[in-house]
Chains A and B, each alone.
Chain A
Amino acid sequence: MRMLVFPYGQDCEPVIRHAGMLEDGYEITALVSPAGWGKAGKEVTVGAGSGMLPVHESFEEVTEEFDSLFIPPFQASGEAVENRLVDKMLLLIPHISHILCTARLTEANRKKLKEACFCSSQPCKFVDFCEDKELEAYGLAEPMEKNPPLKFVDVPVVIVAGVWEKTDKFEISLSLRERFLRDGYRVSQVGSRDGCEMMGFHSFPRFMLQKDLDGTVKIPCFNQWIHQMIKREQPDVVLITIPGALQNFNEQFTRGFGLLPHEVFQSVAPDALVMCNIYMSEEENVLDELSISCKYKFDVSVDAFHISNLIVDVHKSEEYNRIITDSIYRETVSKAVARGSTNNAIPVFNGLDAKECDKMYETIIEKLTSKSAQTVL
């Protein structure tokens, strides 16, 4: 499938950067990004060592060939904006054979797209990667007994988590996957997003996000699901990325109260943990405190920090009662990481930089190796 990506925005960057990891049959050939998203008019590298693609502002500008529409996850500011974006997508349907949807659109918009595909003069298939699935779909059932025992995971587990949302967790996990595969390891991976199957691994299981399912059910089920995956895939390493944020920020911004990370850490203990954090100035540096907090709250040790380019404007967030962030230039992050990396007990990296990511990967390998030696002893 030659895919046109729309709407191409910041959330889609990891997939574009790692486009070489897309499964056979998927090829990104065109990018369209609405005006005001900061992408149109630029050129981006699609996959390491691949060519550049121009980012167009509208479909009319596209000269590249495509036969499918890939809808990546995106942050629409409100339902009205999502509706307008979907209206644009509808215009493409007569010209494409597939819509691959990894964005969590409203039910109404999914229905609208499905119906338009169904009614199209040219057959067009709507592939929905975000459909809710019950436990049964994962080959699981609610445990019969109360507090069922958990099975020990005897394959090294690397977990990537984020103090905040949008701190490059997905990007970091793809970069680590790339390096593990390069070095000949077999990797079983659970991504934090929908549609990870397009890249050859598992999306985060939907049952873990179901509101009506109790934690005492989710924890053993996730544990069991990971075991099934290991049995099937026989990996050398399991790589899990936890969606969302690690914990609440304050009384105003509770962000899931850290329940999902708690459930994951209870279910599968990490042998190595990469924590993605927001960008902070030198004065605000709290990384060491953060690692202590992780130890006490989740009983996990942070092995490496990645600093993203996200800044949280706490004052404005409190004023407007919603989290307001800035995504600053990556170069600024690199400079700050270079300045401050020696001040922390736990290594700090800008994982988006290839060399820095190599170092992060080496740190993880070192941790896994030493852990394995300890286990033998």
Chain B
Amino acid sequence: MTAIEKPFIHALRTPLCNYIYDVNTNAFVDVDESTYQYLREAEQRGGALPDGADEHIEQNLKTLRAQGYLSSKRPQEIRHSQSELLEYHLNENIAQIELQVTQQCNFRCAYCNYCASDFESQRDHSAKRMSVETALSAVDFFAKRCSNQEDPTIGFYGGEPLLEFPLIKRVTEYAEKKLYAKNLKFTVTTNASLLTPEIARFMEEHDFMLTISLDGTPETHDRSRRFASNGKGSFEVIRRNLENLKQQCPDLEYSFNTVVDPRYPCDSLHELFSEDGFFGGARIRSTLIDDQFSIKKTVPGEVFLQQDSRHMFKTYLTFQGVYERKRASHVACQDLSAMFQRFKIDMKPSVSLPEAAAPSGPCIPGQMRLFVSADGILYPCERVSETSPAMKIGNLKEGFDLGKVDRLLNIAQDTAEDCKNCWVFRHCKLCGGPSDNCGELSADLRRSQCESVREQVEHSFRDYLWTREFGIPEDTLIKGV
């Protein structure tokens, strides 16, 4: 069998056209119905081309091959391209550290990963705080390892980080003095309930970027995000604080992070961030509830799915220029633009896949957003389990455990044979986190999520192709309307 006979492709179609996604070149090719059916059958047979292609199909295949498509090349070895540079990335190139200044929180959110009753394999809320010594040594640790970064960033995370504002203040002043020859940035991820004018002024003076958790209208927000002390909803307190902030610190930058509970309708969320005089037009990033560590899995409701689809559809029409921007959902517009920005990067053309490569899922653990827990343990980011030994990639005193980092970076070696033949290779979303089975990295757990990733990628492929078919300019997709 020659190499050309098992093309590495995926056949997909939109209501208007048939396509072959060519994995080696990372490109879509528009094909006619008969060629599509033929190649689709080949894909279903593991890539092997079926016998009996008519002259027309043969001619099309010949043309595609001549243009560099339909290569059957697959990676021979699963090895992340950055493996060789790991030591460099972790010693010179850390972009951001996230300091867990406290594990305590003044909220008890319904979906919170740190609520012991519903969640396994993640820590509980606790009163543990980061000491000044640990925080300052984390800054020193970062200062030694960010030489290649022009804009290194220090993030403050919790629990609720503003419970430890004096520590934040101390760390900020220390880091600014230490890293005076860097364009240092600060971020804080907060519920904004403790955002006093004094804190806001300090953050404005020190060029902070705030990420504020807000889940939507009072009704939606207060359903999940309640004060620990009295169980009351927090929306009004946050709104009041933000109004003060806007008035007193107009230069303080902030954006919203919204966790969407798909069991409930979502119209009000879209309306709030589109039409409300205060929240309308704000920068916002929305995500669905992360139930990775939860015993209870969140199943989207029918009403949510309908409403969400409708908002997305209107947004596409807006992008196409046939629906008024002001009537479309601001949240959906931003989500779609973000998706297309990502897509533009992921769709870089290529000549072929290298001999040794890894699926696109993992970032370099610890390089992008090194998470430092209250007791100085290092994690790849803030989204992983803090109780999992597999996710502990070092500590401030001893530095990185390169073996563990390499293991997470090359997590796809666990499912090497599946990955080598998977058409999602260049668009996979699975890093080490989803393989974490209560402390052990599990190939089966990783494998169990492959189908869902393939569905998501195919969905986004279709969205992308649809926009091309309707001639929506790339600039409109990326910058929004």
Q: Which positions in A face B, CB cutoff 8 Å?
A: 7, 34-39, 41, 76-78, 80-81, 84-85, 88, 281-283, 311, 314-315, 318-319, 325-329, 332
Contacts and interface: CB of A to CB of B under 8 A. Distances in A.
Contacts of A325: 148
Given A37-B147, A281-B354, A328 B178 contact: no
Nearest to A281: B81
A88 B180 CA distance: 10
A283 B73 CA distance: 14
B267 interface: no
A38 B405 CA distance: 22
B88 A81 contact: no
Contact of A35 (B89, B93, B151, B178): B178
B399 to A, nearest CB: 14
Contacts of B146: 36
15 contacts: A36-B147, A36-B178, A37-B147, A37-B181, A38-B92, A38-B144, A38-B148, A77-B151, A81-B181, A84-B180, A318-B344, A319-B345, A326-B88, A327-B148, A328-B88
B179 A315 contact: no
The 8 closest A-B pairs by CB, nearest first: A38-B147, A34-B181, A77-B150, A77-B183, A283-B354, A36-B179, A36-B182, A35-B143
Q: Dominant SS at the B interface? A: loop
B93 A36 contact: no
A39 to B, nearest CB: 8
Given A78-B183, A332-B85, 4 more contacts: A38-B92, A80-B183, A81-B182, A283-B355
B188 to A, nearest CB: 21
A183 B181 CA distance: 42
B345 A85 contact: no
Contacts of A41: 144
Nearest to A87: B180
A35 B177 CA distance: 10
B: contact size bracket = 20 to 34
Nearest to A79: B183
Nearest to A328: B88
B183 A36 contact: no
Given A34-B181, A81-B181, A329 B148 contact: no
B152 interface: yes
A327 B179 CA distance: 20
Contacts of A84: 180-181
Nearest to B357: A283
Given A7-B181, A281-B354, A315-B348, A332 B88 contact: yes
Contacts of A7: 181
A6 to B, nearest CB: 10
B345 A318 contact: yes
Residue among A282, A283, A319 facing the most chain B CB atoms (10 A cut-off):
A283
A343 B386 CA distance: 47
B369 to A, nearest CB: 15
Residue among A85, A315, A326 facing the most chain B CB atoms (10 A cut-off):
A326
A76 B93 CA distance: 17
B84 interface: yes
B85 A328 contact: yes
Interface in B136-180: 143-144, 146-148, 150-152, 178-180
A152 B85 CA distance: 47
B469 interface: no
B87 A329 contact: yes
